């Protein structure tokens, strides 16, 4: 049986020099006189030269519940033992003089052995915004499972002092969960500078909390996340904000005799009626809609005017393409458009293009129109050369009433000022395929809001782009 006692503070030795911080003490159950056999986390705290450090409190705090924390003070050999009872992800922290330690563990009930080293310290400072012109004031910013915590000031600025150098997760709590989501930034801290990467979803804490902390499990993900250009960080918009339609492509429903459809999980449309398709294939997430050639396609005829009078649009989709053998084409992948009639009222098209619009190489294009004619003009389209065939790619197309942009795997690859400021009324169906191209689609989403670069990157990783 564990021998615990409650104390009011396990911050002695952790709170040094944290000026300007709202310090969260480890008010918790503490290992006291516990034998080695009962300690679930055990380790040795060393300095930079490899010598054991005695008399330093080492604190373990649960990532999600600040009240769940345990502390033990290192003995003369630098050893410490922590008796953790609740499974989950924990941060480990310690401080002495001008040195500090932070690590993470994922406690699953098995014993964990830790080798902890005190590092030199630096500071993390930046500014957080809801949108580019709106500072996020009073926002909680912290390194999870640690005493390093603060709130942003009226200008959205924050500073965490005396943080150990290295690669750390920084979590910002959304002040408006309906419109914005919590986000993690990967922070590289040195004694003189700080760089941020992300945002990534909070669910990716697992990349920081492995069975041992010395493996530095964050390295792989850090190397694959684009660095934020400055310390001005944006909260990601909620993926639900402005969402009008969502087609997961995971299930088929009957739509009549010998006819199938993909339902709209958001309910904004009547679903995708399928022609020449009676089953789904393996997708980027679960299942996917596979369309081989022009005889296999999907169409939404009852789209309930979801884009009428829209002043912004975002289209997101996992796509997998085979390279066409033909030349000189514009092939619609997903679009609200007609197919050549003078009465067409085209609105948008995500298309594969070669030999048109001055595109000599195979290109991905995003066309936008106001729905008043049969013209999806090249002048109102953003393009990028496209070579990512026979692999799953997360594509995002955004129009904000002034500019169209294309993103591939979370990274902006093209943008273009356009003349379209608002979509009018159009009764054209939304087509999926209906071209001489082999195409797979998964997890397609359509919104009447324009998302930004941080939002796109966040959603790419939310959809499994880091795996």
For position 302, what pLDDT does the model report? 78
Q: Domains of the chain, with CATH numbers?
A: 4-118 (2.60.40.10), 120-234 (2.60.40.1120), 243-462 (2.60.120.200)
Which pair of structure tokens corresponds to residue 186? 């990967």
3 state DSSP class of 55: coil
Chain-centroid distance, C-alpha 53: 39
Which helix (H) or strand (E) is 199 found in, with range?
Answer: strand 194-200
Contact yes or no for 428/412 (Cβ under 8 A):
no
End-to-end C-alpha distance for the chain, whole angstroms = 40
For position 38, what pLDDT does the model report? 62
pLDDT tens for each residue of the chain, 467 residues long: 222 222 222 333 333 332 233 333 343 333 433 334 466 899 999 999 999 999 999 999 998 888 899 999 999 999 999 999 899 989 999 999 999 999 988 899 999 999 999 999 999 999 999 998 899 999 999 999 999 999 999 999 999 999 999 888 899 999 999 999 998 888 888 888 888 888 888 867 555 433 223 344 444 444 444 445 457 899 999 999 999 999 999 999 998 888 899 999 999 999 999 999 999 999 998 999 999 999 999 999 878 889 999 999 999 999 999 999 998 999 999 999 998 778 889 999 999 999 999 999 999 999 999 999 878 999 999 999 999 999 999 999 999 999 999 999 999 999 999 999 999 999 899 999 999 999 999 999 999 999 999 899 899 988 876 54
The DSSP code for 208 is: T
3 state DSSP class of 36: helix
At 325, phi and psi to the nearest 5? -85, -20
Contact yes or no for 294/451 (Cβ under 8 A):
no
Residue with tokens 């953003």: 382
Q: State how far the Cα of 346 lies from the Cα of 70, in Å rounded to an integer.
A: 62
3 state DSSP class of 445: strand
Listing DSSP states for 332-360 in one string gives EEEEE--SS-TT----EEEEEEESSTT--
pTM of the model: 0.82
Q: Which residue, among 75, 69, 78, has the nearest Cα to 33 in the 3D structure?
A: 75
Q: State how far the Cα of 25 lies from the Cα of 40, in Å rounded to an integer.
A: 22
For position 183, what pLDDT does the model report? 85
For position 28, what pLDDT does the model report? 39
For position 426, what pLDDT does the model report? 92
The DSSP code for 2 is: -
For position 113, what pLDDT does the model report? 93
Q: State how far the Cα of 229 lies from the Cα of 315, in Å rounded to an integer.
A: 25
**Residue 92, preceding bond cis, omega within 30 degrees?**
no
For position 179, what pLDDT does the model report? 94
Beta carbons within 8 Å of 350's beta carbon, 6+ residues apart: 315, 317, 332, 333, 334, 335, 364, 365, 366, 367, 395, 397
For position 18, what pLDDT does the model report? 29
Contact yes or no for 275/295 (Cβ under 8 A):
yes
CA-to-CA dists, residue 24 to 61, 157, 228, angstroms: 10, 20, 28
Q: What is the pLDDT of residues 149-189, one digit of tens each?
A: 999 999 999 999 999 998 888 999 999 999 999 988 888 88
Q: Which residue, among 266, 304, 285, has the nearest Cα to 446 in the 3D structure?
A: 266
């Amino acid at each position: 049986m564990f021998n615990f006692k409650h104390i009011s503070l396990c911050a002695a030795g952790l709170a040094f020099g944290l000026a300007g911080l709202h310090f969260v003490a480890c008010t918790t159950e503490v290992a006291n006189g516990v034998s080695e056999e009962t300690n679930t986390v055990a380790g040795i705290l060393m300095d930079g030269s490899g010598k054991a450090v005695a008399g330093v409190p080492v604190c373990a705090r649960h990532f999600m519940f600040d009240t769940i924390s345990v502390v033990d003070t290192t003995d003369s050999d630098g050893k410490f033992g922590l008796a953790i009872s609740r499974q989950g992800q924990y941060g480990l922290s310690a401080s002495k003089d001008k040195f500090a330690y932070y690590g993470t563990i994922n406690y699953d009930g098995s014993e964990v052995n830790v080798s902890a080293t005190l590092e030199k310290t630096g500071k993390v400072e930046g500014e957080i915004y809801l949108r580019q012109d709106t500072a996020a004031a009073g926002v909680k910013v912290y390194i999870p499972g640690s005493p390093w915590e603060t709130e942003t000031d009226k200008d959205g600025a924050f500073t965490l002092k005396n943080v150990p150098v290295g690669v750390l997760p920084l979590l910002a709590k959304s002040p408006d969960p309906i419109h914005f989501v919590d986000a993690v930034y990967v922070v590289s801290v040195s004694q003189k500078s700080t760089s941020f990467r992300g945002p990534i979803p909070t669910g990716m804490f697992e990349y920081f909390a492995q069975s041992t902390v010395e493996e530095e499990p964050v390295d792989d993900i850090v190397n694959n996340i684009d660095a934020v250009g400055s310390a001005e960080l944006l909260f990601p918009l909620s993926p639900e904000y402005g969402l009008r339609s969502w087609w997961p492509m995971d299930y088929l429903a009957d739509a009549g005799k010998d006819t199938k459809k993909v339902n709209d999980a958001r309910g904004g449309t009547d679903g995708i009626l399928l022609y020449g398709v009676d089953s789904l294939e393996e997708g980027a997430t679960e299942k996917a809609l596979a369309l081989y050639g022009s005889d296999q396609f999907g169409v939404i005829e009852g789209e309930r005017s979801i884009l009428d009078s829209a002043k912004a649009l975002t289209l997101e989709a996992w796509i997998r393409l085979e390279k066409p053998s033909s030349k000189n084409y514009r092939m619609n992948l997903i679009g609200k458009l007609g197919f050549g009639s003078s009465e067409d009222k085209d609105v948008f098209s995500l298309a594969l293009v070669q030999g048109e619009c001055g595109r000599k190489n195979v290109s991905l294009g995003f066309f936008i129109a106001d729905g008043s004619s049969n013209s999806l003009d090249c002048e109102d389209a953003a393009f990028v050369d496209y070579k990512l065939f026979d692999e799953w790619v997360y594509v995002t197309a955004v129009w904000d009433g002034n500019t169209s942009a294309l993103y591939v795997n979370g990274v902006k690859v093209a943008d273009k000022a356009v003349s379209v400021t608002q979509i009018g009324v159009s009764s054209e169906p939304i087509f999926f395929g209906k071209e001489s191209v082999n195409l797979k689609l998964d997890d397609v989403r359509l919104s009447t809001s324009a998302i930004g670069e941080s939002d796109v990157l966040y959603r790419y990783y939310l959809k499994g782009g880091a795996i």
